Amino acid sequence: MTDFIQVATLDDVAPGKMFRVELDGRRILLANTNGTIYACDEMCTHEDFSLALGALQGDCLKCSLHGSRFDLKTGKALDEPAEEDLAVYPVKVEDNSIFVAIG
């Protein structure tokens, strides 16, 4: 069974913004694209660089170091130089609370 854990509230991550959280020692990035909350690993799969410094483009997250984009729904790496997909996690929103499952 998947355990959802509360990591933030909707107030923490406004539309168009990202918010860093830590869950079980893992650095997770929450992203709000037009009211949809996504959760993914914070670090780019290309190099050790925080995607929190990147930019949201539709349902994609673009790394600001070398420009690779990742699909926030699937984690798929859309552009080189990143070749490895990004880990994405199930998200649940209840009332004002954001829950993420990494298990």
Using CB under 6 A, list all residues that contact ligand FES.
44, 46-47, 49, 63, 65-66, 68, 81-82
Q: Whose Cβ is closer to ligand FES: residue 7's or residue 40's?
A: 40
Q: Whose Cβ is closer to ligand FES: residue 39's or residue 46's?
A: 46
Minimum CB separation of residue 49 from ligand FES in Å reads: 4
Give the Cα separation of 60 and 72 in Å (integer): 5
Which residues, at least 6 apart from 102, have a Cβ–Cβ distance to it below 8 Å? 5, 23, 24, 26, 28, 89
Q: Can you tell me whether residue 10 is helix, strand or coil? A: helix
Minimum CB separation of residue 71 from ligand FES in Å reads: 14
Minimum CB separation of residue 51 from ligand FES in Å reads: 7
Q: Whose Cβ is closer to ligand FES: residue 33's or residue 68's?
A: 68
Task: Report whether 52 contacts 98 (CB < 8 A).
Answer: no
Q: Tell me which DSSP letter residue 95 carries.
A: T
